[in-house]
Amino acid sequence: MPGLLTAASTAPPDTVAHIIQVALTPIFLLSGIAALLNVFATRLARVADRVDQITKEMESAEPEQITALARQMARLRRRSLALDVAVVLAAVAAAATCASVLALFVGTLGNRVVASALFATFALAVVCTIGAILAYTSEMLMTGVGVRAEVAARRDRASGG
């Protein structure tokens, strides 16, 4: 870091501003990834709670109810898998972001290989974040389909159909 401080103290204000921007960008991405992981964990906890609830309901259910509950369990399994993918991708994105920060600091030495590593790790972080968001979106869509199916089934039962 002494090289970075020396360069910053003799550089024009625009260069110092650019160094600060470059240093802060990965931090913002890392904060966003942490927020996504928190959302994913909350969703996974809700799925786990619903699995526990259905498991208890299956113990005293009639055979036709067990079939419906088994379909719900299969849907919950797919949702948990989508969330697993989202969590893994977000964790890889976070690790790649940290590697980008490390490469950024090492890159102050001016090594072209380090610059390539910085680009690769930051690009990996962004790609994994996009993948995590897509996996989360698929889980949310599965949730919406499940909720609508449950509402329709309850509406049919209430109307005697």
Tell me the pLDDT tens digit for each residue of 10-57: 556 676 667 667 767 788 888 998 898 889 889 988 988 898 898 889
Contact residues for 131 (Cβ-Cβ < 8 A; gap 6+): 85, 86, 89
Residue pair 36/136 in contact (Cβ under 8 Å)? The answer is yes
First to last CA, the chain: 72
Q: Which two tokens stand for residue 48?
A: 């786990």
pLDDT(141) > 70: yes
66-79: average pLDDT: 87
124-136: average pLDDT: 85
In the chain, domain spans: 2-158
Contact residues for 64 (Cβ-Cβ < 8 A; gap 6+): none
- The CA distance from 81 to 154, in Å, is 27
